[in-house]
Amino acid sequence: MLNNISLKSVLISGAVALTIAGQAYAYEPARSGECIAPANPGGGWDFTCRSVGKVLVDQGYFKGNVQTVNMTGAGGGVAFAHTISKRDKDDNLVVAASTATTTRLAQGQFPGMNADQVKWVGTLGADYGIIAVGKDSKYTSLTQVLDALKKDPSAVKFAGGSASGGWDHLKVLMTAQKANVENLPKVRYLAFSGGSEALVQVVGGHVDAFTGDISEVKGFMDSGDLRVLAVLSEERLPAPFDSIPTAMEQGIDSVAPNWRGFYVPGNSSPESYDWWVKTIDELYTTQEWKDIMTKNGLMPFHKSGAEFTQFVKNQTLDIKILSQDIGLIK
């Protein structure tokens, strides 16, 4: 009997997903909502949707459910296109975004789309960039790595979980640029399908250095297989990451927060936008969200509303200029 019920629920949940994807409901903040995670289950966007959705329901913002819908494709481009073309007036929809979204917008990888076509709600934390090496590496500080790059830009090979030109690649180039490394296009970067795949190659001694986010390295850091040379944040991160020096301490002015946040459809009602901004502001201060941040290595980083919109604009412009400077785009 039980298995019958379970099978039914499976079919129903599939059907519900279909219905929700196809319809737009009138705006009522107290009912169910939908969060699009523009990637497969398991990534950062999926995490953003699921954890925020859970807190929104736990804290009573939604009486029903906040459904996470995974919409994979084009590094968020499919979800972005879906939002502006089919859900442009949907008040109950939020879409997870991060630095990867602004990077692709800046590099023109969402053809015919730009950051002004949606409304940017806010961020709920950031995952700071790190540069790390295996435990047997000859490098013990970021300065040594950059000195080696100054002599020969291809001396140190980096592995990361984003495609060439993606955020993990840009972090290395930004840091190298601040340290006056010349001939940046010559810096070698190996693109893997995910941070963990890249990490294993570095820990296994096949690639010199890892570029990624702090949340990706905790396991190998604790086991002693990985030496984190620098975190790309303004100040040292809280425990247990407080032993990692920042790049700034080592004289390199490089900061790379990978923020986690949301946008909503461009023509959703102003009231619903204000409601989302207010809700995200409140959610950020709850103990439940603070616990989730601690557990997942997310660091304080909160901007919302107009401030966040300006931030997205600036970041998009910065990345565009950098990408042009180093020859990633023309």
Name the site residues for another protein (rule: CB under 8 A): 2-3, 6-7, 9-10, 13-15, 17-18, 21, 40-43, 46-47, 50, 65, 69-75, 77-78, 81-82, 109-111, 154, 157, 163-166, 188, 190-193, 196-197, 199-201, 203-207, 218-220, 222-223, 225, 292, 295-296, 328
Token pair belonging to 12: 């129903």
- What does the alpha-carbon distance between residue 143 and residue 112 come to, in Å, rounded to a whole number? 41
**How many CA atoms does the CB half-sphere of 74 hold within 13 Å?**
14
Backbone angles phi, psi at 162, to 5 degrees: -110, 165
The DSSP code for 266 is T
Nearest distance in Å: CB 85, another protein: 10
Token pair belonging to 188: 């070698």
When the beta carbons of 6 and 286 are compared against another protein, the nearer one is: 6
- Mapping DSSP to helix (H, G, I), strand (E, B) and coil, where does residue 236 land? coil
When the beta carbons of 157 and 278 are compared against another protein, the nearer one is: 157
Nearest distance in Å: CB 326, another protein: 12
When the beta carbons of 39 and 277 are compared against another protein, the nearer one is: 39
Nearest distance in Å: CB 249, another protein: 27
When the beta carbons of 40 and 180 are compared against another protein, the nearer one is: 40
Nearest distance in Å: CB 80, another protein: 8
Angle between helices 287-296 and 270-285 (to 10 degrees): 70
Handedness of CA 207, 208, 214, 219 (dihedral sign): positive
Nearest distance in Å: CB 175, another protein: 19
Task: Collect all residues with Cβ–Cβ distance below 8 Å to 3 and sequence separation of at least 6.
Answer: none
When the beta carbons of 22 and 270 are compared against another protein, the nearer one is: 22
The DSSP code for 304 is B
